[in-house]
Structure 1
Amino acid sequence: MNLATLALFLPACFALNMAPGPNNLLSISNATRYGLRTACVAGAGRLLAFAIMIALASAGLAVVLQTSELVFYAIKIIGAAYLFYLAYQLWSAAPQAEVEAQQASAGQWTLARQEFFVAAGNPKAILIFTAFLPQFVDPTADVGHQFAVLGALFLLLEWIAIGIYAYIGLHMRRWFAEPRGKRIFNRCCAGLLSAAASMLLMARRA
């Protein structure tokens, strides 16, 4: 893998990392409710899901999603249902309860698990890895090594994107400091998550 390939890969990859989506929205919401550090640590769940997807793409197992309509739609429906569940939790959350949870430093494992399931519940993500990463792989060289390098770079850039979105959420927390403001923000996030779930339900295999 040469420098010219990396020069093309890095900006294109970071554009994917920064694209608005359910996970990035979750990072904003988590930072707003629990703080920057908690949101960044919770992002490890997303990275784990993406690492598994990259490994599947590298092994060629993503073909299962491309050829099996049943598997694709099963994952899609489960993922959308989970997004609707998170939207309901945000919609009905009590601002005072969030303050108490933040003071107790609760929920890092729970939030990481949420990040994992939101990422894993999107079958289009693994198809993106299947379509995107191979464009930068030289078939005449060691494919496994190249996938490992590109995958590691993708995860590093994803971690940076998590931090950026969490930082945005941290500043938004100052705008929504009052309970009424927090309730409005939570319900806006709930609406956006519901919209993402609806879009996921309408997604079709390429």
Structure 2
Amino acid sequence: MDWQIWFVTAPFLLLLALSPGPNNFTAMYNGMQVGPQKAIIAVLGRNVAFVILMTVSALGLGAVIVTSAFWFNIVKLLGVIYLLYIGIKTWRSAAVALDQHELESGVISRGHFSRIRQEFLIAISNPKAILIFTAIFPQLLDLSLPVAPQFFMIGVTFIICEFISGYVYAVSGKQIRRLIKSQKGMIKLNKSMGSVFMFASILLASSSRS
């Protein structure tokens, strides 16, 4: 890929990664709960999912899902169910002051895999991610040059942008976290974030292939 094209493409991919969505809201929530350092580790989950989806797209299988109403709706349904589950679980979660969370370092330290898995499942079950890789990525390619190296470069750039985006949202969550120290504050936080995930599930349910 020509570096001049890359310098134009990279900011676009960063803006795409920074757009609000379920994974970024998850990073923000993790930042509130355990801090940006641990939240950014969880971003590995979404990027593993994105690597899989980009590989599928590169192999041409993504186009099958995009053009097939059946498979698109199957993937979408899985995403809706999972986001709804996360939303209800967050809404109903016990209200514990964040100061107490800080004392429970043992519980938090065992949560890396759970957070990584959560980011992975949210990303892998969102058909819009496939649409991004099959509809947007090809527009960034110079067909007069070998496609595979360009797709690889775009993919790596997008993964880096996702780490940056996850960290930005996690740091934002960390700042909000400082304002919420009481049990009442935690109740409002859990209900607010639960509502965000449930709203995201509604948006995903209303999505279409167009």
TM-score range, shorter chain: over 0.9
* Corresponding residue of 2:156: 152
Q: Flag as ranges the 4+ runs of structure 1 deviating above 3 A.
A: none
Partner of 1:41: 41
Q: Provide the residue aligned with 1:106 in structure 2.
A: 110
The match for 1:29 is 29
Q: Counterpart of 1:188?
A: 192
Find the counterpart in structure 2 of residue 129 from structure 1. 133
Cα 1:194–1:188 change in 2 (3 A) is: same
| C-alpha deviation, 1:59, in angstroms | 1.3
C-alpha deviation, 1:30, in angstroms: 1.0
The alpha carbon displacement at 1:129 in A equals 1.1
Q: Which residue of 2 aligns with 1:202?
A: 206
Q: CA deviation at 1:101?
A: 8.6
**C-alpha separation in 2, matches of 1:35 and 1:57:** 33
- On the 8 A contact 1:29/1:186 being kept in 2, the answer is no
Asked whether the 8 Å contact 1:34–1:102 carries over to 2, the reply is no
**Identity over aligned residues, as a percent?**
33
Partner residue, 1:50 = 50
The answer to whether the 8 A contact 1:27-1:166 is kept is yes
In the TM superposition, what is the alpha-carbon distance from 1:88 to its structure 2 partner?
Answer: 1.1
Instruction: Work out whether residues 97 and 186 of structure 2, in 8 Å CA contact, stay in contact via their aligned partners in 1.
Output: no
Note the alpha carbon deviations across 1:105-149, whole angstroms, 9 max, x for none.
221101100000001111111111111111111112211111111
CA distance in 1, matches of 2:136, 2:179: 37
Structure 1 residue 96, shift from structure 2 partner: 2.6
Give CA deviations for 1:62-91 in whole Å, capped at 9, x if unaligned: 111122111100110110110011011111
For structure 1, the 5+ residue unaligned runs are none
SS at match of 2:61: coil
> Under a length normalisation based on structure 1, what TM-score does the superposition of the two structures give?
0.95
After alignment, is 3-12 or 83-92 more displaced?
Answer: 3-12
Query: Could you tell me how far 1:100 is from its partner in structure 2?
Result: 7.3
What pairs up with 1:55-66 in 2 under 5 angstroms?
55-66=55-66
Q: How many residues in Structure 1 have an aligned counterpart in Structure 2?
A: 206
Preserved CA contact (<8 Å) 2:96 2:186: no
Q: Which whole-Å CA distance do the structure 2 matches of 1:3 and 1:17 have between them? A: 20
Instruction: Tell me the SS of whatever aligns to 1:148.
Output: helix
SS of 1:95's equivalent? Answer: coil
Aligned to 1:172: 176
Question: 3-state DSSP class of the match of 1:149?
Answer: helix
**Does the CA-based 8 Å contact 2:65-2:72 persist in structure 1?**
yes
Distance 2:49 2:208 in 1: 21
How far the C-alpha of 1:97 sits from its partner, in A, is: 8.5
* TM-score of the aligned structures, taking structure 2 as reference length: 0.93
